Amino acid sequence: MRIVFIGDIMGRSGREALEKYLPEIRENLEPDVVIVNGENSSNGAGITEKICKQYYEWGVDCITTGNHVWDQREIIPYIGRDPRLLRPINFPPGTPGSGLYKHRIADGRTVSIVNAMGRLFMDSLDDPFRSLVEMLAQERLGETTGAIFVDFHAETTSEKMSLAHYLDGRVSAVVGTHTHIPTADAHVLSKGTAYLTDAGMTGDYDSVIGVEKEIAMHRFIKKMPGERMRPASGAGTLCGCLVVTNDKTGLAHSIEPIRLGGCLPRVMPGAAG
C-alpha cells in the first residue's frame, strides 16, 4: 500500500500549495490513500466545513488535526457528521468526533488512520500510549486492517520517538506533526514501523513556523504582546512523506520525505513502479 501524508497545512499559502502539488503527487507516486493534517488550515487556526469539502474535492481521503481542532467553533457540530475528519483519539470520552477512521480503497484493502496528541508542553489529555493500545485491541495489523497510520501531534521529539518505539511492529507508521519543521530522520524501525519525527508544515517557510516573521520576532524582542499572529502569505512549500507497506503484514517497506515548491530544496520520491 502506498500512503501519502501531508503535514500541517498553514493558512491560504498552505491550501494553495496543496491544490497546486497534489495532482503531481497523485500522478507520479500513485498513492492508494492521501492524508493531510488540516488543523491550521483556516487562517492558521482550525479548519472549517468548507475547507474540508474543498480538500476532498482535490483528492484528500482523510484529515487529521491536533490542539487547534476546536479553534473554528463551527467545526464542533460538523465533526460528528464527517468520519473522515479526525480529532486526537485521546480526548476524553464524549468529545465530539473520532480519532480513528478506517478507509477502504477501491480494490477492497483497508487502512486505519489514527490521530493522537502528545502531553509534554501540550494540553493535558488522556494518555496517548494507553489510548493507542486500546485502539490496537480492535484494529490488528495484517488481520482486521491492511495498514495502520498514526499522526502523532506532539511538541517534543522524545515523546514522538518513545511512542514510535512503543508501537514498533504493531502499526505501519508513526509520523509526527505540530512543530512545523520537517525533520531528516525518516526510516523504518527495527520491527517494521515507518517513522518520521515531524513531516513539516505545508505553507510559507519565509516565516517563523508559518507566521509572519515580523510579528513573531516582535514577541521575542519586545517581550510584550503585539499584533495577532497571522499566517505568512508567500509561496508555499508542501511537506510530507510517502510510506510504502507490505500488503501481507502491514509493516513498512520504506518511508521517504516529500518537499515541493517554495523556498526549501525539492525532494520527491521515485515514481511508482
3-state secondary structure 209-229: CCECHHHHHHHHHHCCCCCCC
Inter-CA distances, 71 with 65, 88, 248, Å: 11, 14, 40
As a whole number of angstroms, the distance between CA 26 and CA 234 comes to 24
CB 204 within 8 A of CB 233: yes
As a whole number of angstroms, the distance between CA 156 and CA 176 comes to 10
As a whole number of angstroms, the distance between CA 165 and CA 177 comes to 17
Q: Give the number of C-alpha atoms closer than 13 A to the C-alpha of residue 203, restricted to the C-beta side.
A: 32
Q: Is 68 a catalytic residue?
A: yes
Residues with a catalytic annotation lie at 68
